Amino acid sequence: MTGSAATPPDSLSPSRAADFMRCPLLYRFRVIDKLPEEPNAAATRGTVVHAVLERVFDVPAARRSVRRARSLVVGEWERLLAKRPELARLFTGSGEDGGEEGGEEGGIDGARLAEWLTGAEELVERWFSLEDPTRLEPAERELFVETRLESGLRLRGVIDRVDIAPTGEVRVVDYKTGKAPRSEFAGEALFQMKFYALVLWRLRGAVPRRLQLVYLGSGDVLTYDPQEADLRSVERKLLALWDAIRHATETGDWRPRRGRLCDWCDHRALCPEFGGTPPPYPLMIQPRLPLDDRARAGAAEAGTAEGGG
């Protein structure tokens, strides 16, 4: 059942933090069991669009046109498919949406693929209505960042774009190919951005001036100007989260949590909430390690503020 050898987690990224907050058992399946998941058309399109938006800046500003950007989509899809041949299943009878008439059996349905590629091109084009790449010169694109907090917790992630103004102020930009969430669900996306801001602050010694989420699916731009107090609060929450992850890792107690995304979970058949049984826990159960004072204080504070974003 497992995708590769199981190992205890040793770092935290925004996506994995979100997994644990959404459902600890999902985190276990992805991080410890490494269970395979079916290709997803929306996520794959997001990967292609992100790659195109990174490459837009490969040429001088005057050449950063909608037409050129749209022309990059097919090439980025083909490059991704060469790395991950299983993605072809998205457009065959075994894809996530089931088969359709008109395609060769066992082969890619050209009409479905063309429709999907057009959707990606439309997202790329919409970006030009939200930002003007001829007036941007990013300092960093697809920037991998990693830092270790004083507690020992290692944080890591990939930032879509970092802009630095002539005055030295930093803007962190993240592209989302979906629609902007309703206000009551905006906290999760902002948490991801604050995570990145915390890492950059610890690495570079300055709090980013602005965090910007660009939602290509709905044409919305969400901005937030973090303060040092915000990032200290995020750090405490991450320490508490990591303590909970360590506890679950050591005890094997990964509890499922029902939510609005359960219907789309690849691992529903293994979830006790839906009558399933998880695979045997692949790590050794061990006694709980004591928390240091810093982590204990963070856990207590985050516990009282849980649910506040």
**Structural domains in the chain?**
14-37+231-305 (no CATH), 41-134 (no CATH), 140-226 (3.90.320.10)
**Confidence band for 300, pLDDT divided at 50, 70 and 90:** very low
pLDDT digit string, tens, across residues 274-293: 999 999 999 998 765 554 54
The pLDDT score that the predictor gives to residue 97 is: 47
Query: Whole-model pTM?
Result: 0.86
Question: What Å distances lie between residue 251 and 2, 28, 140, 187, 201, CA to CA?
Answer: 19, 12, 41, 30, 33
User: pLDDT for 140-157, tens place per residue?
Assistant: 999 999 999 999 999 999
What angle separates helix 66-83 from helix 41-55, to the nearest 10 degrees? 130
Query: In angstroms, rounded to a whole number, what is the distance separating the alpha carbons of residues 139 and 147?
Result: 19
Instruction: Give 199: exposed, middle or buried? Use CB within 10 Å, 0-12, 13-18, 19+.
Output: buried
Flag whether pLDDT at 212 surpasses 70: yes
Beta 170-176 vs 154-164: how paired, if at all? Answer: antiparallel
